[in-house]
Copies of this chain bind each other. A is one copy, B any other.
Amino acid sequence: MSGKRPTTRKEIGDVAMGFDDDAGSAGIVRTRHVTFDRPGQELPLEGGGVLAPFTLAYETYGSLNERRDNAILVTHALSGNAHVAGRHDVADKRPGWWDMLIGPGKGLDTDRYFVICANVIGGCGGSTGPSSVDPATGRPFGTDFPMITIKDMVNAQVRLLDHLGVDKLLAAVGGSMGGMQVLELAVSHPDRTHLCVPMATAARQPTMAIAFNEVGRQAIMADPDWQGGHYYGGRSPAKGLSVARMVGHITYLSDEAMEEKFGRRLQDIHDYTFTFSADFEVESYLRYQGLSFTNRFDANTYLYITRALDYFDLTRRHGTLVKAFEAVKARFLVMGFSSDWLHPPYQLKEIVSALRATQRHVSYYEVESHFGHDAFLLEREKMEGIIAAFLSSGSKSYHR
């Protein structure tokens, strides 16, 4: 499933932020799909209704050992997908989105661990979502797709674990929305994972993040090409989605990172144009990020997934976070990032405090970084050792 190949610096030289990937690649991987269409495999949804059948796109790296105690589930963030490491083709320009951490000898060492990553339901990376064909009508769901939640995403992935023969994960690891899935798994399926590594996340979506998501949704829904969500086959609401992505991008960076990365530098000009062109590098960057996103992401998925994020609130069903964590059995490594203002460290510390109050095994590690929220995708050197040590030490205490 995951072959190895020699990796040269040249080949990975275009990887984000340009650190040297000297630990090797997960190699050539492919995305698989599994459709759950048998009785008992339906997915009842938190918001009502049932999704059946449904498909999950997923990738795996490394091998499940005989004791089946070396599986790690990696959960992705808003714009992520199943392709977390390696490349689909030798000609691939970019590896998977967390390639820096996953591969032979890396933090999530595929020589030791069996790493699984699935596109969430509601997604547009091969799993069933609003752009999928509704079996009832033969047309894409569009906004007839049922609302999904973080819990629904997790329940779907538990079906995948069953399918792969993984009764109990060694660990669930994820940042941002991925971190919410990790928390939800620990609470709703306490017997399914031994370790949890939520990072750059919160036990409930904070107000400011709801606010920014709402801006993105309004931008998409204001685009006449959105057409109430039934735009498939016609023009997609690219302008609205682009604006939504631009907003998102700003929240992933820190003030300091933006000053350093762009400052007030002009883009290929020596002086202001005194027009509405993208005079500044940061404008050009955001326009490019917005536009390129529309080539790979579905606007309705953006609506559904941001809604799932906003609805996430572990305290809601349980009253308090401490009560929510009473069922938890997993051991936790909680990671915050100093300049993350979308999920500032205090939101991670709330998780830690509540876990401590329930006498759970929890460590908190704060990464000093000026990359903002994006730090969890970039700060390899500051994260890798601590994660590897936590997994290695946790392997010893794993039991079914």
A residues apposed to B, CB below 8 Å? 47-48, 143, 146-147, 204-208, 210-212, 214-215, 217-219, 221-224, 239-240, 242-243, 246-247, 250, 253, 255, 258-259, 262-264, 272, 274-276, 278, 280, 282-283, 286-287, 290, 303, 307, 310-311, 313, 341, 344
Contacts and interface: CB of A to CB of B under 8 A. Distances in A.
A255 B344 contact: yes
Contacts of A218: 239, 242-243, 246, 287, 290
A383 to B, nearest CB: 24
Nearest to A263: B207
A242 to B, nearest CB: 7
B341 A258 contact: no
A143 B283 CA distance: 20
B48 A274 contact: yes
A206 B290 contact: no
B307 A207 contact: no
A258 B211 contact: yes
A259 B207 contact: yes
Contacts of A47: 272, 274
A276 B264 contact: no
Contact of A280 (B147, B210, B276, B283): B210
Given A208-B250, A344-B255, A222 B221 contact: no
A258 B205 CA distance: 12
Contacts of A255: 206-208, 341, 344
A47 B274 CA distance: 6
Given A272-B47, A276-B307, A243 B258 contact: no
